[in-house]
Structure 1
Amino acid sequence: MHQPSFFDLFWLLIIFFSLWPIFQQKNLEWARLRLIREIEKKRKSRVITMIHRQERLAFMGFPIMRFITIEDSERILRAIRMTPDDMPIDLIVHTPGGLALAATQIASALVKHKSPVRVIVPHYAMSGGTLIALAADEIVMDPNAVLGPLDPQLGQFPAPSILKAFEMKKKEMKDEMLILADVAEKSLVQMKNTIIKILTAKGHSQEKAENIADLLTSGYWTHDYPLTAEVIKEMGLNVSTDVPQEVYDLMEFYYQPSGQPSVQYIPVPYGEPKKGSVPLRKPH
């Protein structure tokens, strides 16, 4: 009978440590799906998530930053098609933004859904994430969550700034800059028209939609400026700050630090001690 050797044990350990990250990832995915199903049962809706966080993937543990892509829009559109017309949709969004094409496709599909659509923002939904939020019947934001402006970005420059530079120095500009200014002007018109189309489809007046579109795209704020729930309410959009606790619980399943976390705390809610409880003693 063959006796296990040192090399047999060595290869078993190699296989185990190679497969362990895959098992961990699968277990995490199952935990996410279980909680998503619980939220669906509680809210009687289809829950879709688009959460872009820096995650440590199974391949050698390298963290990868994520953003809105065509693959995201394809999956969300597929989920919307699978949702009955009489079922509400809760879309949980956590993103720095991404491709305008993908965000526009998602927003357009949400607008066409016949039942109420709620976009839930537990932390932030910038740029394309904001465009998607505009397609909701209700935007549900944490009191400290933020959206962002929608001024188009051409490379590393915002379109409104390109046009402003063009007006200031157009006589001295090279052909490449003139072309860039032309593209910037077109991108601004396109984004404004997209926002107006989305907002009017959700029942807002033409004038109100134009005002909101102009405010979000004109360069009044820098592209990364945080727009709080109060600012969004002042625009006249339907905003709530009642984020379900289960959404915060779900976000915990997406946090995978690649090393020692920079933020730490005792993960229990604090409040007044219950009657009969023993208070913690201060160390002497």
Structure 2
Amino acid sequence: MNRAILVTTLVTSSALIGAGYLLRSRPRARALPSSIIPIVTPVIDVRVAEDVLGVMEQLRGDEVTLLLHTVGGCVTSCVMIANALREFERSTAIVPYMALSGGTLLALNARQLQMGRSASLSAVDPIVSGQRARHLLDDEPPNGIAALAREYEVAMARYVRDTLTARLPGASEAALERAMGVFMGEHAPHEWPVRRPEVEALGLPVGPSARSWAEMVDAYRKRWW
């Protein structure tokens, strides 16, 4: 594949392709309050973002809960949802099993985080054309894909620092840098699992999620995955 094609390739925070977004079709056996938004999908794409933002815009009050089960998705889509989540005074992210990459970005931007006992988050550093942006920064000679990678890497690092500063009020610079290292994936592969004890060790507030949330995700997965 030539460089021109690579530059135009969709920038995602996951190498996986396809989506099974389930907001429109909740399991009938369990009616959900409108303030609970399930994002149970392999990939968070622009269509997912449109639907989630539309539901958020219609919510009355300042409370929202995201039920997350995803391996990530389009950087822009995930950031738009995270931005909307920041506007709520009471926001909760629930991760029964996994919220990787862009899913982690959403989880970190909720004011409260709950994780299942085997649940995982991951790094959120951007993937450009199937490669980690940081691996493309030193391409020689300079080219369009390296410039694009640098833009995404700088923007995401700034966004993650802003997110962690809000979630770790009063934290020392050293503590903030440790958290940045984990969520920007400085010492592990992009989708390396970050378990609840590791999140707690970083000083981030996180609690256990009830088994009923995992059962709800299971209901979606049995019907659609």
Other-structure match for 1:194: 159
Unaligned runs of 5+ in 2: 1-24
Are 2:188 and 1:221 aligned? Answer: yes
Three-state SS of the structure 2 residue aligned to 1:219 is coil
Using structure 2 for the length normalisation, give the TM-score.
0.78
Other-structure match for 1:250: 216
Three-state SS of the structure 2 residue aligned to 1:199 is helix
8 A contact 2:168–2:204 mirrored in 1: no
Three-state SS of the structure 2 residue aligned to 1:67 is coil
Other-structure match for 1:73: 49
Question: Which residues in structure 2 correspond to 1:1-284 (within 5 Å)?
Answer: 29=25, 32-37=27-32, 40=33, 46-52=35-41, 66-86=42-62, 88-114=63-89, 116-163=90-137, 166=138, 173-176=140-143, 179-202=144-167, 204-205=169-170, 207=173, 209=176, 211-241=178-208, 243-256=209-222
- Residues in 1 aligned to 2:148 and 2:195: alpha-carbon distance in whole angstroms: 30
Q: Relative contact order (alpha carbons < 8 A, sep ≥ 6): 1 or 2 greater?
A: 2
Other-structure match for 2:22: none
8 A contact 1:36–1:250 mirrored in 2: no
Larger-Rg structure: 1
8 A contact 1:107–1:198 mirrored in 2: no
Q: Deviations over 1:190-230 (max 9, x none)?
A: 00111123334456348455553343225321012001011
- Residues in 2 aligned to 1:80 and 1:150: alpha-carbon distance in whole angstroms: 23
Aligned residues: 200
Three-state SS of the structure 1 residue aligned to 2:30 is helix
Other-structure match for 1:266: none
- Residues in 1 aligned to 2:146 and 2:186: alpha-carbon distance in whole angstroms: 15
Query: Partner letter of residue 35 of structure 1?
Result: R
- Residues in 2 aligned to 1:94 and 1:181: alpha-carbon distance in whole angstroms: 31
CA shift, 1:128, in A, is: 0.3
Give aligned-pair identity as a percent. Answer: 25
Root mean square deviation of aligned Cα:
2.6
Other-structure match for 1:261: none
Query: Partner letter of residue 103 of structure 2?
Result: G
- Residues in 1 aligned to 2:129 and 2:156: alpha-carbon distance in whole angstroms: 16
- Residues in 1 aligned to 2:192 and 2:185: alpha-carbon distance in whole angstroms: 13
CA shift, 1:76, in A, is: 1.3
Using structure 1 for the length normalisation, give the TM-score.
0.63
Mean alpha-carbon deviation: is it higher for 151-160 or for 120-129? 151-160
Q: Which has the higher helix share?
A: 1
Query: Partner letter of residue 106 of structure 2?
Result: I
Query: Partner letter of residue 240 of structure 1?
Result: G
CA shift, 1:246, in A, is: 2.5
Three-state SS of the structure 2 residue aligned to 1:139 is strand
